[in-house]
Structure 1
Amino acid sequence: MTEHLSEAAGGPLYPIREVSRLTGVNSVTLRAWERRYGLIQPRRTPKGHRLYAREDIERVERILQWLNRGVPVSQVSDLLDRNATSSVTSAPRETTGSIEADWQHQAQEAVMAVETFDVPRLDTLFTRSMGLYPVHTAISRLWRPVVEQLETRWQNTPDGCAQRHFFESFLRTRLGLRLYHGNLEHNEPKLLMSRLPDDPSLLWLLLLAFTASSGGFNITFFDAPVPLGQLPMTARRINAQAVLLAGGTTDRTGETRSALFDLRSQLDAPLCICGPFARDSEQDCSTHDLLALDDDPAQAVSQLRALINHPIAG
């Protein structure tokens, strides 16, 4: 099939792979929006292949604008109809309230699934959120709040260690396949990711890896902490354009901070840190040419992009 087919009176028609390229929405998600929610109605060839007109592509872009604002996909159709002739502005007040309630309900379901070691329930929530929403929206609106809730509960829960390992294993399995396909598609920019030394949680790094992969990074990912002294050699061998260390705790010794500052001086690539430790160490980081990234994974990935395009002068 050619890049697009011309219709006699209606202009060009695009196959689904071209719509995916133009909008960044994968074909599985486009089909789900059509079948489950009727958000788009492409034409069909005699053999059943989907063809999208320019107005369909514009509709996909409007859908993305609403989803990026956190609107549940089930409410998008009504908002599209209300704003059929105007650009996306803001959702009505009553819709805004239901948006927050919907995300909170999903978060509570996910927390309960982790606490009860319910793989099918957790998988349903994860697959649905990642399939229907942009990855950065699903992470920021659902999975980051879930991690924050769980980390708070685990401070006073005897079962916290087992639940954390269960959730980490669940996310790590799903991340592996995503990184494999993402790295095949994107050769660069190359990003080396690992945990901060002695950090007990992998969850923060996993959320960042999902977001960075969907943002087009080629990722080398270590799910166990790598000795800081080995990172410079590793970064050079893979030609990393940035090194990212993440963790979920703020309790760091002066020795750890000093080791990070020494590491920065040995790296050819920028060194970034993310998570609560980065938030509390922002002033020290700027003094030693480390970049403390935003807590929000989407914002952190945007900062990484800007850093790679305009690296810190060394």
Structure 2
Amino acid sequence: MAQPPSLGQLSTAPVFNTKAVARETGVPPDTFRAWERRYGIPCPQRTPGGHRLYSERDIAIIRWLRDRTAEGVNISHAIMLLTSVTDQAPPHVEPDANRSIDRMVEDLVVALTTFDAQNAERLVSEAFAIYPFEQVLLEVIQPTMVEVGERWHRGEINVAAEHFATEFVRRKLASLLNVFENQPQRDTIVVGCAPQELHDLGVMFASLFLVRRGWHVVYLGAQVPLADLLETIRKVRPKLVCLSASTLETAMNLLEVARAVRQEFPHVHFGYGGRIFNVNPELCAAIPGVFLGQDARELVQTVSSIMANNGASIPPQRS
């Protein structure tokens, strides 16, 4: 997939009217006006009479979105890729007091726990249109799933509602992985869960953060058997293996895996993380490998250090 246009050198002066933009891009006015209404992209200025005027930057964006949709990419995914790579929200979209991040989380929890997929999809699209990509993952989607889990533990929702919410988010994260995995790729990293570990949303978050920065991620998902992991390492020859555990039982499984990887592949580096290590940091001393951090942002920093140092030993870092 082509990268988003380099926008820094393009003029933002409002010069082109709607007809000129349609002629330059081949995109019907109704289409890019719909993108503007829903996603805040493009961002025309207005004449005193209320007519839209577009810049060279706007035209470049419209052309790039046109090409992505022609390739079969969903427009919302193309917008996500554009805004995440530029790492800024659409210029004229400001978070409304009634649609703060906290309110988005509350509304998304309600939508997911009442099986309202259409409203949940709308809320997620709105979040990506307003806020930077990684902020949406860490401050909207992740807290939403924590709250859904808490409501299930308190008996406020049943397991069907919890499964519905989890599968909705899993599908969303998988679709985002599909968007980003076509970018230019660096070294290979294998990402998955420890044997018998079922909670894979955390490693999907981690995979997204890594893929977005250009690493080639081989995502293995939940409960990866040791024998299958070792066979995968033989085939894809990664520089780093990252596994997750959320319970004491699966952390013990992770210990066995870490020892096997180090014995079979001494030049492959092993990293780990997950909720159990966040709440019981003393467990890190037992695992031969590098603790990758308490969240996806810390993971990216740690992985970058490992790769930059060719995998030299990096001590666990905690705030």
TM-score, reference length from structure 1: 0.66
Letter in 1 for 2:172: R
Structure 2 partner of 1:126: 124
Structure 2 partner of 1:199: 197
- Residue-by-residue CA offset, 1:214-246 (whole Å, 9 max, x unaligned): 232222212332102321221231222221222
In the alignment, the residues of structure 2 paired with residue 159 and residue 263 of structure 1 have an alpha-carbon distance, to the nearest angstrom, of 40
For residues 131-280 of structure 1, what are the structure 2 equivalents within 5 Å?
A: 131-157=129-155, 159-247=157-245, 249-252=246-249, 255-265=252-262, 266-267=264-265, 268-280=267-279
- Residue-by-residue CA offset, 1:15-50 (whole Å, 9 max, x unaligned): xxxxxxxxxxxxx89x94444797xx85149xx834
For residues 100-115 of structure 1, what are the structure 2 equivalents within 5 Å?
A: 102-115=100-113
In the alignment, the residues of structure 2 paired with residue 201 and residue 250 of structure 1 have an alpha-carbon distance, to the nearest angstrom, of 10
In the alignment, the residues of structure 2 paired with residue 292 and residue 3 of structure 1 have an alpha-carbon distance, to the nearest angstrom, of 36
Contact 1:42 1:51 (8 Å CA) reproduced: no
**Distance 1:237-1:131 versus aligned 2 partners, 3 A rule:** farther
In the alignment, the residues of structure 2 paired with residue 123 and residue 173 of structure 1 have an alpha-carbon distance, to the nearest angstrom, of 11
State, as a whole percentage, how many aligned pairs show the same letter.
16
In the alignment, the residues of structure 2 paired with residue 188 and residue 109 of structure 1 have an alpha-carbon distance, to the nearest angstrom, of 38
Contact 1:42 1:50 (8 Å CA) reproduced: no
- Residue-by-residue CA offset, 1:93-149 (whole Å, 9 max, x unaligned): xxxxx69x8111100111111211111111112222234433211111111211222
Gaps of 5+ in 2: 14-34, 46-52, 63-82, 314-319
In the alignment, the residues of structure 1 paired with residue 250 and residue 138 of structure 2 have an alpha-carbon distance, to the nearest angstrom, of 29
Give the secondary-structure state (helix, strand or coil) at the position aligned to 2:249.
coil
Question: Which shifted more, 112-121 or 227-236?
Answer: 227-236
Contact 1:250 1:280 (8 Å CA) reproduced: no
Q: How much has 1:256 moved relative to structure 2? A: 2.2
**Distance 1:277-1:240 versus aligned 2 partners, 3 A rule:** same
Contact 1:135 1:214 (8 Å CA) reproduced: no
**Distance 1:34-1:196 versus aligned 2 partners, 3 A rule:** same
Structure 1 partner of 2:59: 49
In the alignment, the residues of structure 2 paired with residue 235 and residue 170 of structure 1 have an alpha-carbon distance, to the nearest angstrom, of 30
Instruction: Please report the RMSD computed on the Cα atoms of aligned residues, expressed in angstroms.
Output: 4.3
In the alignment, the residues of structure 1 paired with residue 230 and residue 94 of structure 2 have an alpha-carbon distance, to the nearest angstrom, of 47
Letter in 1 for 2:59: H
In the alignment, the residues of structure 2 paired with residue 170 and residue 7 of structure 1 have an alpha-carbon distance, to the nearest angstrom, of 38
Match of residue 74, structure 1, among 89, 94, 112: 94
Structure 1 partner of 2:296: 297
TM-score, reference length from structure 2: 0.65
**Distance 1:7-1:32 versus aligned 2 partners, 3 A rule:** closer
Letter in 2 for 1:250: T
Give the secondary-structure state (helix, strand or coil) at the position aligned to 2:218.
strand
In the alignment, the residues of structure 2 paired with residue 240 and residue 197 of structure 1 have an alpha-carbon distance, to the nearest angstrom, of 19
Contact 2:189 2:215 (8 Å CA) reproduced: yes
Letter in 1 for 2:142: R
In the alignment, the residues of structure 2 paired with residue 151 and residue 258 of structure 1 have an alpha-carbon distance, to the nearest angstrom, of 27
Q: How many residues align?
A: 259
Structure 1 partner of 2:65: none
